[in-house]
Amino acid sequence: MNTPGIEFGRKTSAAYAALCKPLCQKLHLPRTAFDILMFLANNPGYQTASDVVEVRKLKANLVSVNIDRLVQEGYLVREADPGDRRRTLLRCTEKACPIIEQGRALQEEFGARLLEHTNEAQRKAFFETMDIINENLDAILEGEG
């Protein structure tokens, strides 16, 4: 089977990192801190450090250090979960808004560049195929439970 496989994932990650590097340098933020901030901003259903570790597959100590930095610099605040006082929720602050706006613009640019030289039919087929694969993945994962 001729699939893009590991090269596709590696190249995608490397290209995204290359686009992020100048912005992170401009913002004086480590890439991991930027990624954590963007993850929390773009995924409101995930609000804890554990969510970041689990979903993003980052090491807990790396997440902890970068969250501490984001809190100290005023980009995140920690709040007790009203439903479970043992859980600490992370919330982006107003100070983070310009970074989030720039990050989303970068992500939009990245998505657009990935789809350059494709037509509407190709994009439609690609996203329909991704939806089918996602459903297949859900079915596989449900079978594990």
Number of domains in the chain: 1
Q: Identify the band that residue 4 occupies on the pLDDT scale cut at 50, 70 and 90.
A: low
Residue 15 resides in a domain: yes
Is residue 41 situated within a structural domain?
Answer: yes
DSSP string, 26-84: HHT--HHHHHHHHHHHH-TT--SHHHHHHHHT--HHHHHHHHHHHHHTTSEEEEEETTE
pLDDT tens digits for 115-142? 999 999 999 999 999 999 999 999 999 9
Please state, in angstroms and rounded to a whole number, the distance separating the CA atoms of residues 18 and 144: 37
- The pTM for the full model equals 0.87
Q: Which domain holds residue 80?
A: 8-118
Q: Which CATH number characterizes residue 21's domain?
A: 1.10.10.10
